[in-house]
A and B are shown apart, each in its own frame.
Chain A
Amino acid sequence: MTMNLRLYVTGGTPGSMRALRNLRAICHTHFDGQVDVEVIDVLEQPDLAEADRILATPTLLKRWPTPARRIIGDLSDPDRVLSGLDVLPLDPGGLTHGTATDDDLGNDKDSDA
């Protein structure tokens, strides 16, 4: 049962980069590979943004499982992101991870964080 997420970003803006890092960290810590993430740049694929009616970036779209949900912002609070995704943290004591740092960048490919 793999979760399907879409992250809408705008080019390489700082907010978008932060969201990307934070999402990677969250997926790395809590999903253990059970998630598909598609990263979409609204400047390159505006038609997809149109179809998903995206207003804000970054927007994380939880497409599956239902209920669908939109999480707007740079995802700087992992616990709120997880609750937004209806996911319980993997390690019960691990509710205190910080936001992503630059070290987290570049460890994984975009699509299988």
Chain B
Amino acid sequence: MLDLSVGTQLPLEPSGIEGLDQIGYGGLPRGRSTVVSGTAGSGKTLLAMQFLVEGTLRYDQAGVFCTFEELPDDLMHNVVSFGWDLPALVADRRLNFVDATQHPGDDFLEVGSFDLSGLLARLENAVRKVGAKRVVLDAVGGLFPQFSDANVVRRELHRIYMGLRSLDVTTIVTIERIEEEGPVGRFGVEEFVADNVIVLRNRLEMERRRRTVEILKFRGTAHQKGEFPFTIDPRSGMTILPLSAFELVQRSTEERVSSGNPELDGMCGGGLYRDAIILVSGATGTGKTLTVSKYIEAAVNAGERAILFGGEESPDQMRRNAAGWGIDLAAAEEAGLLRIVCRYPEEMGLEDHTIRIKREIEDFQPTRVAVDSLSAFERGTATKPFREFFIGLSGHLKLKKITGMFTTTTAMLGPGESPTDTHISTITDTIILLRYVELNGNMRRALTVLKMRGTRHDHNIREYWIDDSGMHIEGPFVGVHGILSGAPIYDFRNERERLDTMFETDRFNGRP
């Protein structure tokens, strides 16, 4: 995994915020101040508050929240929806507020020089009273309009940071910035507290909000580079989705499960791997939904639980589709073995979808999951967030040893490769291609297993047909190549062979 054995590694304080400690390789620099910078509404205050709340709940560390903009009562009220009972924590002496805001009635006059020893004394007092190990200074920019000389405020803030350092508390300082790029904070604050900087961003991409967190620097300690998507989850607050962390811990299993189609199992060398991510790619009507339904049915028949996530059709439609092939999804649902979850992809951001899907998985504990179709989630999304969505999701499935089947929609004819396939194919373990093929004036269907990680598999392109009972895979196409390129080339050694194929064609067309 990761090499953490750097000699000069500073001690870290786990923040307790999901994902943040993973990208920080363990937490925030202990006993130091970390600046969290971001535009308005980027989640700074939430991160800071969560740092304190998790500190009290997980690590039995008391905290002090010093607020420069919002009143303590408002802050407490704002986070009730996350289930955080701050008044109780305050009553328990596990959380302490220092109100450094300017109240509406406050009437100020400056006559001569001053310093902010009053604030420092209050902070030290608050820390001492609850034995705090964590301190938050929220929106220090709010201090500047209160005094005429910004230089004095900067100098005094620096003194406060040094004071906190001698108290041996880990501090988060939030600063508002004007733009998503450019200076870390307003008022030149970052110049003297820039040892550790986290930047939160909230950009509009393809008409969707995309929140990211980036550790700009942690002095003297390693951390993951770059931006990581996060979401603000109504149940658990800020949740960061670190991608590479998933890939590092995956272990593979040799256990096989059935795809629900014996012939397909055969082509895959004896079934699908238990922890495989399977991509089923095909045009409309090639049998993707059928493949998914069979795969779900196989789980149910084995007495295992499955979740079917739909992105294009309603649960009713999905039940009706399956019923057409004699698969009773409703019965499986009643038996408590199946859950169908349909959400329009456009309903929320992909990060939120990830969280919801994970939560469904957490609640239902399935051994199999199917997403029909994955392409629906790619519409209206930039490539990178989509890739992250898929990596995050597939990583989670692997971690839980859940089989995952995803369908993607390709063009009707021709060299069928959907954009979805291109973006995610490297992450999948198995790719099953379903294609229309035009042969001798007939529309036929071809299936091939393009990739089967970790095992030998059938490399043939096989013909299949679909009837009321499902998908039936036949022999390989003979005497023709270039099927998947969309421009088949016939290679008949003799007329007799061609007649044979024609006869075969009729045989298929003659079936009910």
Q: A14 vs B121: C-alpha distance in the bound complex, in angstroms?
A: 17
A65-87 residues at the B interface, CB under 8 angstroms: 67-77, 80-81, 84
B121–A46 touching, CB < 8 Å:
yes
- Give the chain A neighbours of B342 by CB distance below 8 A: none
Most buried by A among B99, B106, B115, B146: B115
B residues less than 8 Å from A50 (CB atoms)? 98, 122, 125-126
Q: Are the CB atoms of B117 and A72 closer together than 8 Å? A: no
Chain B residues in 8 Å Cβ range of A58? 114
Say how far A29's CB is from chain B's closest CB, in angstroms: 16
Distance in Å: Cβ of A43 to nearest Cβ of chain B: 6
Cβ contact within 8 Å between B126 and A74: no
| Seed contacts A13-B117, A55-B119; 16 additional CB < 8 Å A-B pairs | A15-B112, A42-B118, A43-B121, A49-B122, A54-B119, A55-B118, A57-B116, A59-B114, A67-B107, A68-B107, A70-B109, A71-B110, A72-B114, A74-B112, A76-B111, A80-B111
Which listed residue, A46, A55, A57, A72, touches B109 by the CB 8 Å rule?
Answer: A72
Q: Describe B's contact surface by its main secondary structure.
A: mixed
User: A47 near B: Cβ within 8 Å?
Assistant: yes
Which residue, B111, B113, B122, B125, has most C-beta atoms of chain A within 10 A?
Answer: B111
**A73 to B99, Cβ gap below 8 A?**
no
What are 19 A-to-B residue pairs whose CB atoms are below 8 Å? A15-B115, A19-B112, A42-B122, A43-B121, A46-B121, A49-B118, A49-B125, A55-B118, A56-B117, A56-B147, A58-B114, A69-B109, A71-B111, A72-B108, A74-B113, A74-B114, A77-B111, A80-B109, A80-B111
- Nearest residue, chain B, Cβ from A73: B112
Could you count the A-B residue pairs with CB atoms below 8 Å apart for me: how many are there?
101
Q: Is B103 an interface residue (CB 8 A)?
A: yes
Q: How far is the CA of A29 from the CA of B116 in the complex (A)?
A: 29
From B101, B107, B117, A10 is in contact (CB under 8 Å) with B117
Question: Any chain A CB within 8 A of the CB of B510?
Answer: no
Chain A contacts for B118, CB-based, 8 A? 8, 10, 42, 49, 54-57, 59
